[in-house]
Amino acid sequence: MAEKKSRTMKKDCQVAFSPFEVSVEVPSGSNLLDAVKAANLPLKATCGGKGTCGDCVVRILSGSYHSKPSAALPDHLASQGYALSCQTTVKGNISVELPQFRELAIQSIVDSKFFREEKDKISGTYEMDPAVKTISLHVSAPTLDDNFSDLKRIERQLQKKLAAHIVSCEYPVLKKLARAVRKDKGKINIVISLSEGRAVIIDAVPPSEHKRLFGLACDIGTTTVALHLVDLQSGKIAATATSLNQQITCGEDIISRIVYSQKPGRLKKLQELIILTINNLIEKAVTTAQISTDEIYFGSFSGNTTMTHLFLSLDPRYIREEPYVPTLNQVPAVSARDLGLKMHPEARIHCSPAVGSYVGGDITAGLLCTPMLKDSKGISLFIDAGTNGELVVGNKDWLVTCACSAGPAFEGSGIKCGMPASEGAIEKIKMGKSGEIEYRAINGSKPRGVCGSGLVDLLAELFSNAYVDRSGKLKAGKGHKRIVETENGKGFLIVEEKDCFWGKDLVITENDIKNLIRTKGAVYSACSLLLKNVGLELDTIDSVYIAGGFGQHLNIENAVRIGLLPDIGRDKFHYIGNSSLLGAYLILISERNKELADATADNMTYIELNTEPDYMNEYTGALFLPHTNINLFPSVKKIFRA
């Protein structure tokens, strides 16, 4: 009887979630929102499952389910398969899409305006000289008088071509050497990896078995992973792919992932998830480029220190505990086989070198995309404002860096109307004189939310048009129809329900505004403290390079207006986009860039803000628009005086 009972209790419906590679089994009749929670997926449900907020909307792609109709879900969406997960009952195996993660804007270095226009000014070189290359040899046939071994005859030729490098050979290549060197009568293509004056043979291919040489440049972001498949002969980008970091199911920021990793088996799971994410992107890219994964011999990966640790399955625990010491900053040679990446098994994996626990390889890689490692004159500031904000100041001769916990507000997290830079995200906002709002959503489609650059515009416009005061409070007294009451308190109506994809008002609440202010305050105060530490004034900064996940269209004027960026000449600012990805690309194509990144990481001075007594004062001062001390923002002061 007990057995029979347990059979009836069996979990018998599989719920698969895209774009995540996650599925859960639940008993038939389960609530879909509960299934989402069981799968540990990020989905808002502000009303707590009452069916009133409409946040938990998903799209059911296939399968058997029952959804109660809800006022919070317009008919046109319901007819397209959208449903509120809190109002949905699972009846069989179903396939569910979390739409806000569906169409991430492809992150490509070539889309970057900076890349197009300032290509020649950056520190990294574009001259092709990758650390992994193919050397074509013609090995003379052995004779009784010249009967050196196959390996020796190949080494002899290689050493001539490479000017006396020490040559070694990976074990799996040894096994194919005898055949490979005879197949085309001594003509053979040797794939080598160069490092520290040593050449390691990682493949040997007869020319008739045509194999090309490709590499990967990959930015491992906490939220998003972006990848370029690169022809290592020409440097051309053969394919590009972007997706969510599947680790997001284990926590949205690095701290929650570190916490998650501390239970048995979970560090391994986090590694599996990032490898899965990358392997899926590789699959997409090789399909586009029509190559085999076996032709990818080199991977250059950039990520923050925690992402790099999880990528390698290194315990990240001590990153979070004082004195914040990672296992490593520079990663020794690792092969694709070690990590289970879908590349040639002996492919070399390089991770951009980190400076410390909170200034990672993404920053070192990013610096390659600025002139900062090349120019001795002038002083530059590099700002990467993501979930974690990182700042670097200096030039070729010295560099000082610090990090701050900015929070993911500008990446669309923790803000009710926020979303990543994916389809339907408002990326630009302008407010007319009579309060009318102009906006542009990604792909020109009906707006679904606001991404980073849109939020900067929105906050700046609200402030400029006096909808919010300097502390971020909405001025209720203004009586404008756009000031509305929501169940989360007072808010500002950005898009009316009829124009919104979700068929409901798109509102930014006062709490959201406070959140944005905290984020910009964290970045600005870190910047201010960093400069103080090196005894510099703001006006000594000649250039500011801004990287990060704002989207393609950060409005610098607005970023200054809200006090995110310092009030200096606008021509000094350069938005460089995903510099972690571009840096990974630069490291991929040139050994010189690789060495420059290593030297940069080694020579940077790291300042730990967590233990700076002044930080709290600076931060509190920055929690105003644009700042408690308006004199720090003369251009803003002028406007308000006018």
**Which of the ranges 76-84, 172-180, 224-232, 382-390 carries the binding residues for its own copies, by CB under 8 A?**
172-180
Among candidate residues 622, 631, 625, the one with its CA nearest the CA of residue 525: 622
Distance of alpha carbon 379 from alpha carbon 389, whole angstroms: 20
Interface stretch with its own copies, choices 145-153, 215-223, 293-301, 535-543 (CB under 8 A)? 145-153
CA atoms within 13 A on the CB side of 600: 35
Position 185 contacts its own copies (CB under 8 A):
no
Residue 148 within binding range of its own copies, rule CB under 8 A: yes
* Residues paired with 109 in a beta bridge: none
Q: Smallest distance, Å, CB 533 to its own copies? A: 14
Residue 144 is a binding residue for its own copies (CB under 8 A): yes
Candidate segments 8-16, 96-104, 313-321, 614-622, binder of its own copies by CB under 8 A = 313-321
**Residue 496, SS3 per DSSP:** coil
**Are 58 and 43 contacting, i.e. CB atoms less than 8 angstroms apart?**
yes
Question: Rg of the Cα trace of the chain?
Answer: 27
Task: Note whether 186 binds its own copies by CB under 8 A.
Answer: no
DSSP 433: T
Q: At what angle do helices 591-603 and 361-368 cross, to 10 degrees?
A: 120
d(CA 40, CA 95): 16
Please name the residue that has the structure tokens 């005894």: 535
For its own copies, the closer CB: 316 or 407: 316
Residue 550 in tokens: 């704002």
Q: In what order do the strands lie in the sheet with 57-67?
A: 22-26, 13-18, 88-97, 57-67, 82-84
Element (H, E) at 146: none
- Let me know the angle formed at the C-alpha of 549 by 547 and 553, rounded to the nearest 5 degrees: 80
* 210 contact partners, CB below 8 Å, separation of at least 6: none
Q: Which lies closer to its own copies via its Cβ, residue 327 or residue 405?
A: 327
Nearer to its own copies, 106 or 325 (CB): 325
Q: Return the residue of 14, 23, 31, 327 that touches its own copies, per CB under 8 A.
A: 327
| Residue located via tokens 């197949």 | 183
Q: Which amino acid is at 220?
A: I
Phi and psi at 604, nearest 5°, equal -80, 140
Q: Which of 110, 166, 538, 599 binds its own copies (CB under 8 A)?
A: 166
| Binding of its own copies by 110 (CB under 8 A) | no
Residue number, 142 or 235, with CB nearest to its own copies: 142
Q: Is 142 in the site for its own copies (CB under 8 A)?
A: yes
**Span from 32-40, 275-283, 309-317, 460-468 in contact with its own copies (CB under 8 A):** 309-317
**Gap between the Cα atoms of 281 and 224, Å rounded:** 11
Which of 6, 8, 147, 290 forms a contact with its own copies (CB under 8 A)? 147
Residues paired with residue 399 on neighbouring β-strands, in sequence order: 394
503 belongs to the binding site for its own copies (CB under 8 A): no
From the CB of residue 502, how many other CB atoms can be counted at a distance below 10 Å?
Answer: 22
| Rounded alpha-carbon distances, angstroms, from residue 162 to 158, 350, 587 | 6, 22, 20
Q: Which of 575, 560, 552, 384 is nearest to 460 (CA)?
A: 560
Give the nearest distance from C-beta 388 to its own copies in angstroms: 17
Q: Check if the beta carbon of residue 492 is closer than 8 Å to that of residue 506.
A: no
Write out the two tokens for 472: 């971020």
Contact between 177 and its own copies (CB under 8 A)? yes
**62 or 149: CB nearest its own copies:** 149
Q: Which is nearer to its own copies, 542 or 608 (CB)?
A: 608
Q: Which of 11, 66, 175, 473 binds its own copies (CB under 8 A)?
A: 175
Instruction: By CB under 8 A, tell whether 317 contacts its own copies.
Output: yes
Q: List the one residue from 143, 208, 376, 631 that touches its own copies (CB under 8 A).
A: 143
- Segment contacting its own copies by CB under 8 A, of 317-325, 468-476, 503-511, 546-554: 317-325
Q: Does 151 bind its own copies (CB under 8 A)?
A: yes
Pick the closer one to its own copies by CB: 147 or 376.
Answer: 147
Shortest distance (Å) from residue 315 CB to its own copies:
5
**Could you say which of 315, 542, 557, 598 contacts its own copies (CB under 8 A)?**
315
Give the span between the Cα atoms of 519 and 526, in whole angstroms: 11
Closest CA to 37 of 75, 85, 71: 85
| Nearest CB to its own copies, comparing residues 162 and 483 | 162
Cα separation, 189 vs 191, whole angstroms: 7
Residues that contact its own copies, how many (by CB under 8 A):
48
Q: Is 318 in the site for its own copies (CB under 8 A)?
A: yes
Q: Which is nearer to its own copies, 162 or 484 (CB)?
A: 162
What is the spatial distance between Cα 334 and Cα 340, in angstroms, rounded to a whole number? 11
CA 608 to CA 586: how far, in whole Å? 29
Phi-psi region of 451 (alpha: psi -120 to 50; beta: other; left: phi over 0): beta
- Residue in 61, 71, 178, 639 binding its own copies, rule: CB under 8 A: 178
Strands 13-18 and 88-97: what pairing? parallel
Burial (CB count within 10 angstroms: exposed 0-12, middle 13-18, buried 19+), residue 75? exposed
Quick check: 3 binds its own copies (CB under 8 A)?
no
Cβ closer to its own copies: 6 or 171? 171
Residue 83 vs 365, nearer CB to its own copies: 365
Contact region for its own copies (CB under 8 A) — 10-18, 306-314, 473-481, 562-570? 306-314
Q: Name the one range near its own copies by CB under 8 A: 55-63, 125-133, 142-150, 423-431.
A: 142-150
* Minimum separation from the CB atom of position 334 to its own copies (A): 5
CB 205, min distance to its own copies, A: 16
Q: Can residue 611 be called a binding residue for its own copies (CB under 8 A)?
A: yes
Of 85-93, 560-568, 603-611, 632-640, the window that binds its own copies (rule: CB under 8 A) is: 603-611
In the window 332-391, what residues touch its own copies (CB under 8 A)?
332-335, 338, 356-357
Q: Which stretch binds its own copies (CB under 8 A): 177-185, 572-580, 582-590, 624-632?
A: 177-185
**In the complex, least distance from residue 359 CB atom to its own copies, rounded to whole angstroms:** 11
- The residue type of 35 is A
Residue 608 binding its own copies, by CB under 8 A: yes
149 is an interface residue for its own copies by CB under 8 A: yes
> One-letter amino acid identity for 293?
T
Q: How far apart are CA 106 and CA 281, in angstroms?
A: 12
| Minimal distance, residue 551 CB to its own copies, in Å | 33
Residues that bind its own copies (CB under 8 A): 142-144, 147-152, 166, 168-171, 174-175, 177-179, 182, 196, 198, 312-315, 317-318, 322-335, 338, 356-357, 606, 608, 611
